[in-house]
Amino acid sequence: MAARNYKAIISYDGTRYYGWEHQPGKETIQGKLEGVLSRLAGSEVEILGAGRTDAGVHAKGMCANFVLDTDLEDEALKDYMNRYLPDDIAVIGLKTTSDRFHARYLATGKTYQYTIYQGKEKPVFDRKYVWVIPERLHVEKMQKAAEYLQGNHDFASFCKAAGKNKSTVRNVDRIDIRKRGDYLLLTFHGDGFLRNMVRILTGTLVAVGKEEITPEDVQVLLASADRRKAPATAPAQGLCLLQVDYD
């Protein structure tokens, strides 16, 4: 049987991994997936993700593709992968797709969600998935600041050093901030995000919520295109990639 291109939707708890992408001598999501596929194929198989989540970041809907020559039907291949993957990584969808499909280059948008916990008691069972902030944040001011961040902007102030010739312009069309009990959910949708961008945006919005800076200061930060002027990066564990969009 000829090799086929597969599209996979992957869910993972990133707590114990050094991110998606290969790193020498370290456990990564990509490495675990390729290990299982290469075992089946008897040779090295490369899996290409829609993005490169940081160490400690989670995903409910990472999309990836890989080329494999196998007699297994789609559902049987999915079952095989889940049988040999560790318990904190799961393939939740898998299907044969067009040879032209590329998970990264054809992605048209991504949705991330950042979860903050505000409460008197420690969230023991959620501690790996939230940023615990003792004080109550001023949500209305955060929402005002989020309005300034929405749209097509140069986000150089809100990313970890981009490549020399890499554009830092992105379109973020939605930042939704809402309370759910003691939890504060920040949902970001855009055509793409730079390295650490969602975490730096979150850190900035939290600084507004703590009234360390004003919503209007965010406009100044955007215009400065200087990462050194923006607040600290939010911790990795509160961030989760929810979905990747394709036309």
Beta bridge partners of 62: 10
**Tens-place pLDDT, residues 40-85:** 999 999 999 999 999 999 999 999 999 999 999 999 999 999 999 9
Walk me through the domains of the chain, giving residue ranges and CATH numbers: 4-97 (3.30.70.580), 108-246 (3.30.70.660)
pLDDT band at 178 (very low <50, low <70, confident <90, very high): very high
Q: What is the pLDDT of residue 55?
A: 96
Question: Of the listed 13, 54, 69, 87, which one is catalytic?
Answer: 54
**Tens-place pLDDT, residues 99-136:** 999 999 999 999 999 999 998 888 999 999 999 999 99
Q: What is the pLDDT of residue 1?
A: 64
DSSP letters along 18-36, please? S-SS--TTS--HHHHHHHH
Question: Which residues are within 8 A (CB) of 92 and not within 5 positions of it... i.e. 6 or more apart?
Answer: 9, 10, 11, 61
Residue 54 annotated as catalytic: yes
Name the residue with tokens 């995000």. Answer: 193
Residue 149 is classified by DSSP as H
In angstroms, the CA 84 to CA 32 distance is 9
3-class DSSP assignment, residue 228? helix
Q: What is the pLDDT of residue 165?
A: 67
In angstroms, the CA 134 to CA 129 distance is 16
**Tens-place pLDDT, residues 132-173:** 999 999 999 999 999 999 999 999 999 987 666 689 999 999
